[in-house]
Structure 1
Amino acid sequence: MRYTKFRFKNFKGIDDLEISLTGDVTTLVGLNESGKTTILEAIFCFSYGSENMDAINPGLESLRDPEQWIPISQRANFNEPILISATVSLDKADKASLKAHMKREHSLTLTDVPDEITIKEQYKFSNSRSDGASRVWDLTIQGLKGQQRNTRKYGAGSDEWQGAVAHLKQALPRIWYFPNFLFELPERFVLTGLDSLDDEERDRSTFYRAIFEQVLGEQANDANLATHVVDRLDSKERADKRSLEAVLLGMSRSITNTIFDGWNRIFGRAPIAQEVQIQADLENSAAYLELQIKGPDGYYDLSERSLGFRWFFMFLLMTSFSGTRTGKEEQRPLFLLDEPASNLHSSAQAELLKSFETLTERCSLVYTTHSHHLINLRWLDSAYVVKNEALGSLAFDEYFNAQVGAKTSISAAPYRRFVNDNPTQTSYFQPVLDLLDYRPSNLEPIPHAVLVEGKSDFYLLRYAHEVLGVGDRCPAIVPGTGAGTLAPAIGLYIGWAKPFILLLDGDKAGREQLERYQSLFEPALAGRHALLPELCGDETAIEAESLLSEVDRRMIVEHVFPDESTRPSAKKAVSQGVMELYASNDKVELEPSTVERLERLFDSLQQMLDEQSKQAPNSDPS
């Protein structure tokens, strides 16, 4: 089960906003004060999903107070409802689990399980005071019992419907919100005797116990702290003591490998600290765990290490072991990261971005940033540009002159739509431009284009269309200097959200480079690439010259180079001949088979560009 969409109304500075989580990673880009953090807070305030993290970040407790969500401009007398809505998708395993639960608990054979469920939480207010909340599940339950032949629907008041909701509620992915990772890991946390602790220490111990349950679970799915640590601490048997030592050693190694392997990936070097050591002991009959960092000259508490080390330690600990196990069920949690690593240097940010790819193997991720070091072009299709109307449509140098007292109104538009609708408001997506290291003029035309391998492709296609009149329309052709040279151009077109097609030859080099570009730019490249034989409908036409029939190739060479003694080599003669025909506007008659291939190619290219244009409403085809 995973979240696919959120919608918010009247939440702080949000009037009405919908955000779709179409990929594993959703990036929120925008200026300071644009509202990126507000969107993360709104997601976290979906009560069914949010993980209670007050123990490590007490400030989050007040965030869940509905009266804190009232828009500032309406605090004097607010009487409107606030809406937080989440849509989740169910995969085959989710559906099978629900069917099994309903059969086991309610003797009901479900005949239909929806692909998506929307849950709406509405909070009422009267005179700026909270006045209750309602929660509505858009869920239809229908099935058969016993010898029934006709399917029956079960409404919200039935035990069956309530049972289905209770099961789904437990299966909802947890939402973890990390405004930062600078909270402290306690020197020790208690495993037993929690009732004797004050509320704050009890909550903190409970929270970290859950984290270390999952650390232990990395060694064996059925392992738990109560049986494999606490009971063995109480035991006098030597075998139990040795087993306990093995468990603690395994947990220490698990965290050591996770933290320091991650550190090495991010920084390219080993940290001064060398090892994490976990110990367990009893004090006043209460069991506790203690974590220390081993360095070259002794043991340290985490609080004694540098700010950067503490940030990464907690980031890797939380994201590697949080939220994945609930009993025997596997979950895919949603992590919300607000300006991660904003206080660290650029190379660390760039390597952190790479680590996100590994992180998404086990979770979904929404993060905010205004650093180009934390932008991945491959994720632009699922990125949003966040804008606050109070800041206006300003250039970057006008940012600090924004209107004081203007009404906050936060919006979020898919990156490609925002760039097409607001091409001059580059300050809002400046991090992407910084990543591209490109500063085009606001007046510079960026047509829909076909990126081709080289000048041979360019001149043949331009000659066929412009001089011979083949094809109703021909997009702009942008040549590279070889199949492997098009990455910068691909990056620019992705960054500017302009429709384009990567057209490569069907030979070995073209196919290999296509795989490379896919590894660099997918999913942003999906639907924007093709091999020449696929579009012209002739599997033998693997390169531009082979679009021409053998007769046409010979005819062009003889027409341009009548003197055989001055004629270039065969392949070069064809490409050079086409170039000279184009430059001189000299028409020759091509065979019908050649014209058919070219027309089919032009039609296919235009269809692909038209399909992309449907997703870019203000993009004018050239």
Structure 2
Amino acid sequence: MKFSEFKITNFKGIDSLTLNLEKSPEANIFTLVGLNESGKTTILEAIDLFSPLNKELKALEIPGSVIKDPNSMIPISKRDNFNDRVSLAFKLSVDEDDLRKINDYAKEHTEFKKVSPKRDRNYLTYFRHYNFENSKFKDLDSKWSGFEGVLKNGYKTVDIGDISYNHVNTKLATFCRSLIPSILYFPNFLFDFPSRIYLETKENPSPKQQFYIELIQDILYSLDNSTNIKTHLVERIKNKERQSLNRLVQKMAVKVTDVVFEAWSRIFKQQVSATRIVINYASDDEDLAYLEIDIEADDGIYSINERSLGFRWFFIFLLFTQFRPFRKDTPQNVIFLFDEPASNLHPNAQKQLLKSFENLTLNSKIIYATHSHHLINPNWLESTFIVRNEALKFDATDSYNVKQTNISIKTYREFAAAHPHNTAYFQPILDVLDYRPSDLENISNAVFLEGKTDFYVLKYLKEVILKIPGDIALVPSTGSSNLNTLISLYMGWGKEFIILLDSDKEGKSQKTKYIDSFGIIVEQRIFTLDDIDAFWKKHGIEKLFDPSELLLIQQKSFPDTTRYDKTNFHRTIQELLINKIEVPLSVQTMNNFRRLISFLTEKVRDGN
């Protein structure tokens, strides 16, 4: 199963809100952007409630991760006398394997030989209704959308939601809940890491102990050597099988060291070769086996909790996320929820942290909330959502009115369309974050492009096909005639930029218009494609491809299409870029883009 859509009604400051995860092609990372108090955390809290059986992170008692009092979910403006329900409904897509498991279960445990979702055969919907009376929590009503099925002794399809089959519906609902992927909500990673991780207990382990036991097993899974805690750790510790035990623990320590410090070096651009993870094992006075995870540096051995807050955040983040995808015999497609991740890290570290997110999306998705422009990746704008709170006026964020509280969400594309005065493609996000760079901030020299297609095509060719090193800031607008805001913005900031336009009639016309409007400051910074190569006269970016390649590329995502369609081509390029999928291209095409990118890089570097 995969999460497809979350619908939230009457939850805290949310009147009615729908978050659709299938609008963006093949996206695995979703960004919630908004000011403080805009409602980003409220949305994450509501999504976390969608996981009906997930108790593993609750066991850690991370501050802010658990809603302990259901009454706190009552809409803020209705707390005086709320007689309604807080409603959560989520849609899950089901594949053939899911349906096979459901049918196998039904055949064995019910009087039905075949069952399927009643309304939409590709989706199931699960509801959680928190009912309130006189502003007090009354009860929780959880249910699935109805099934239909065929009885073993008949051929007619019947509605399993009928009262006659309530017992069957209950059984199927219980089984289907076991197929729901986990939702793991991390408000932060600043909590104490245990000095000892017990691998066994005399009685049933507490939820917190069980969480860390499963974490150790995840590390063992990552070794891919068929080891488990009971046989290869606990029994060896008790039987003092030191040779095999030492080798296994050493492998675990090396794996954690590689995962943590390789990422640390990549994100913080500094090597930590003299630091490593050390794992020790022992048993206590009651003969209970445990592990200790410490950090060895040049100046000694430290516990995790003795390191800086920044290191603790980063270490626990990697430990809890990098090893989880190795877990076996549990539903895949985990969703990680991060609230203001790495807000205490340096801006460059925040940018690099975004790259580490891409490594988490194997069998999982990420939804993260931020109000930092450093944590926004332009490649993910199609799966970026703007969060607004009607109690906060757009132009006066210090004005707050509880009666007007209503948290809303729009895709970035919808938000940009609703604010046409913001002509720069990326500028509405900066506006909603109330962002202005300081004189000390290192704003990159930029290449202004006509639109999103140019942006994604150039990014794809540079990073995935040609693998040209170095960064170049590509900034898309919403058309060749809409660059005024970008030009004014960079002129006002005193930052360097160049402009690339198509060499068609419109591009030539707009080049003349910008030179007339902004004068000499733009004249040496604006180029059409035929300024770069005379053979590119009357060209747009798509004409740098061999004509036959346009349809071949498009068919990677739309295999049934037989004619080139600009919208489908644009969407395919996005998917190829996001998933870093290479498509074979002709030598001439690659030479065209290599020349174009080289020209832009040289010009923007020189500031000419």
Question: What TM-score comes out, normalization by structure 1 length?
Answer: 0.68
- 2:122 corresponds to: 115
- 1:335 corresponds to: 336
* Shift in alpha-carbon separation, 1:42–1:483, aligned structure 2, 3 A: farther
With 5-14 and 97-106 compared, the bigger mean Cα shift is at: 97-106
| 1:9 counterpart letter in structure 2 | T
* Shift in alpha-carbon separation, 1:64–1:3, aligned structure 2, 3 A: farther
Are 1:407 and 2:396 counterparts?
no
Deviations 1:424-448 (A, max 9, x none): 58465348998998999xxxxx765
Write the distance in 2 (CA, Å) between the matches of 1:523 and 1:483: 29
Q: Secondary structure at the match of 2:529?
A: coil
Among 62, 78, 82, the residue aligned to 1:78: 82
* Shift in alpha-carbon separation, 1:81–1:295, aligned structure 2, 3 A: same
- 1:228 corresponds to: 232
| 2:161 counterpart letter in structure 1 | G
* Shift in alpha-carbon separation, 1:112–1:502, aligned structure 2, 3 A: farther
Write the distance in 1 (CA, Å) between the matches of 2:68 and 2:6: 17
| 2:336 counterpart letter in structure 1 | F
Write the distance in 1 (CA, Å) between the matches of 2:194 and 2:187: 19
Deviations 1:221-246 (A, max 9, x none): 7532122211222225xxx4322222
With 452-461 and 50-59 compared, the bigger mean Cα shift is at: 452-461
| 2:16 counterpart letter in structure 1 | D
Are 1:2 and 2:7 counterparts?
no
Write the distance in 2 (CA, Å) between the matches of 1:460 and 1:190: 68
Kindly state the Cα deviation for residue 45 of structure 1 after the two structures are TM-superposed: 1.6
Kindly state the Cα deviation for residue 160 of structure 1 after the two structures are TM-superposed: 3.9
Kindly state the Cα deviation for residue 78 of structure 1 after the two structures are TM-superposed: 1.6
Deviations 1:64-118 (A, max 9, x none): 5321111222222221211111111112332233233334444744264521111
How is 1:234-273 mapped onto 2 (pairs within 5 angstroms)? 234-235=238-239, 240-271=241-272
Write the distance in 2 (CA, Å) between the matches of 1:386 and 1:449: 29
Asked if structure 2 preserves the Cα contact closer than 8 Å seen for 1:78 and 1:126, the reply is yes
Kindly state the Cα deviation for residue 405 of structure 1 after the two structures are TM-superposed: 4.8
Write the distance in 2 (CA, Å) between the matches of 1:433 and 1:69: 35
Write the distance in 1 (CA, Å) between the matches of 2:179 and 2:225: 18
- 1:65 corresponds to: 69
Write the distance in 2 (CA, Å) between the matches of 1:205 and 1:447: 53
Percent of aligned positions that are identical: 33
Asked if structure 2 preserves the Cα contact closer than 8 Å seen for 1:55 and 1:207, the reply is yes
Asked if structure 2 preserves the Cα contact closer than 8 Å seen for 1:350 and 1:373, the reply is yes
With 311-320 and 447-456 compared, the bigger mean Cα shift is at: 447-456
Asked if structure 2 preserves the Cα contact closer than 8 Å seen for 1:30 and 1:428, the reply is no
- 1:189 corresponds to: 197
Write the distance in 2 (CA, Å) between the matches of 1:112 and 1:55: 35
Asked if structure 2 preserves the Cα contact closer than 8 Å seen for 1:48 and 1:169, the reply is yes
Write the distance in 2 (CA, Å) between the matches of 1:384 and 1:433: 21
Structure 2 stretches of 5 or more lacking a match?
423-427, 438-442, 449-476, 483-498, 511-525, 534-539, 558-566, 575-587, 590-608
Kindly state the Cα deviation for residue 368 of structure 1 after the two structures are TM-superposed: 0.7
Deviations 1:584-609 (A, max 9, x none): xxxxxxxxxxxxxxxxxxxxxxxxxx
| 2:14 counterpart letter in structure 1 | I
Deviations 1:355-390 (A, max 9, x none): 111111231110011112111122111211000111
Kindly state the Cα deviation for residue 60 of structure 1 after the two structures are TM-superposed: 4.5
Asked if structure 1 preserves the Cα contact closer than 8 Å seen for 2:508 and 2:528, the reply is no
* Shift in alpha-carbon separation, 1:83–1:507, aligned structure 2, 3 A: same
Kindly state the Cα deviation for residue 294 of structure 1 after the two structures are TM-superposed: 1.2
- 2:292 corresponds to: 290
Are 1:481 and 2:529 counterparts?
yes
- 2:561 corresponds to: none
Write the distance in 2 (CA, Å) between the matches of 1:380 and 1:523: 17
Write the distance in 2 (CA, Å) between the matches of 1:303 and 1:271: 19
- 2:470 corresponds to: none
Q: Tell me the number of residue pairs that the alignment of Structure 1 and Structure 2 aligns.
A: 477
Write the distance in 1 (CA, Å) between the matches of 2:115 and 2:60: 44
Deviations 1:195-232 (A, max 9, x none): 499xxxx4432221111111112224753212221122
Asked if structure 1 preserves the Cα contact closer than 8 Å seen for 2:4 and 2:93, the reply is yes
How is 1:129-528 mapped onto 2 (pairs within 5 angstroms)? 129-145=136-152, 148-155=154-161, 157-195=165-203, 202-220=206-224, 222-235=226-239, 240-271=241-272, 274-284=275-285, 285-322=287-324, 325=327, 328-394=329-395, 398-400=396-398, 402-403=399-400, 405=402, 407-423=404-420, 426=428, 429-430=432-433, 448=479, 456-458=503-505, 480-481=528-529, 503-507=542-546, 525-526=570-571
| 1:418 counterpart letter in structure 2 | F
| 2:372 counterpart letter in structure 1 | S
Write the distance in 2 (CA, Å) between the matches of 1:413 and 1:460: 32
Write the distance in 2 (CA, Å) between the matches of 1:225 and 1:69: 40
Write the distance in 2 (CA, Å) between the matches of 1:389 and 1:91: 39
Write the distance in 1 (CA, Å) between the matches of 2:55 and 2:505: 56
Radius of gyration: which is bigger?
1
Asked if structure 1 preserves the Cα contact closer than 8 Å seen for 2:106 and 2:114, the reply is yes
Kindly state the Cα deviation for residue 149 of structure 1 after the two structures are TM-superposed: 3.8
Kindly state the Cα deviation for residue 33 of structure 1 after the two structures are TM-superposed: 0.7
Q: Secondary structure at the match of 1:354?
A: helix
Structure 1 stretches of 5 or more lacking a match?
441-445, 464-477, 486-500, 530-541, 544-622
Write the distance in 2 (CA, Å) between the matches of 1:523 and 1:51: 42
Write the distance in 2 (CA, Å) between the matches of 1:94 and 1:301: 43
